Amino acid sequence: VYNGTSELQLERMNVYFNEASGNKYVPRAVLVDLEPGTMDAVRAGPFGQLFRPDNFVFGQSGAGNNWAKGHYN
């Protein structure tokens, strides 16, 4: 729910959010990771329902905290 008083901020809501049904706003975001575990944690968390399910992009195996493996995959 928007609690501000600025008309300009309210006019620019579409920069960061898409308006859904019922005057609800969905954040414009693409969540990307190499492994599905982190995405599952976001979905199961308190803000998981804010994001569109088709904006989660992940691989099937992670980099195992190895930067080079993640960089060159």
Predicted local distance difference test score (pLDDT) of residue 43: 92
Beta-carbon contacts of 24 under 8 Å, excluding residues fewer than 6 positions away, are none
SS3 call for 7: helix
* Tens of each residue's pLDDT in the chain, 73 residues: 667 788 888 888 888 888 888 878 888 999 988 888 888 999 999 988 888 888 898 887 766 767 676 677 6
Query: CA neighbours within 13 Å on the CB side: how many for 63?
Result: 12
Neighbour count for residue 15 (Cβ, 10 Å): 8
Q: What is the pLDDT of residue 46?
A: 93
Whole-number CA gyration radius for the chain = 16
Residue appearing with tokens 């492994």? 35
